[in-house]
């Protein structure tokens, strides 16, 4: 299913939910890219994925892991 539909946030609104990568490419181009344009742009990000996304690996960041270990569920 998709959450992109007309009037999602009110009359005459157009909202597009996307990844951060798609939002960045859209901002650079000033419009929503075609699939080919998007894939071309994200190749640079994918080449550096280990570095770009490392901050999302909270289980591998000592400061976050220390706090997480103290939480009881």
Q: Are 21 and 42 in contact (CB under 8 A)?
A: yes
Q: Residue range 11-16: average pLDDT?
A: 80
Express each pLDDT in 24-73 by its tens digit. 999 999 999 999 999 999 998 888 888 877 777 888 888 888 898 899 88
3-state helix, strand, coil in the chain (%, to 5): 60, 0, 40
In this structure, the dihedral spanned by the alpha carbons of residues 29, 33, 38 and 42, taken in order and rounded to 10 degrees, is 30
Q: Please report, to the nearest 10 degrees, the dihedral formed by the alpha carbons of residues 65, 55, 49, 43 taken in order.
A: 150
pLDDT at 9: 77
Tell whether the model's pLDDT for residue 1 goes beyond 60: no
pLDDT band at residue 6 under the 50/70/90 scheme:
confident
């Amino acid at each position: 299913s998709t959450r992109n539909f007309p009037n999602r946030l009110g009359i005459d609104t157009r909202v597009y939910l996307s990844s951060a990568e798609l939002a960045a490419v859209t901002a650079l181009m000033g419009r929503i890219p075609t699939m080919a344009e998007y894939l071309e742009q994200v190749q640079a990000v994918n080449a550096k994925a280990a570095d770009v996304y490392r901050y999302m690996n909270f289980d591998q960041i000592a400061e976050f892991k220390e706090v997480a270990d103290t939480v009881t569920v």
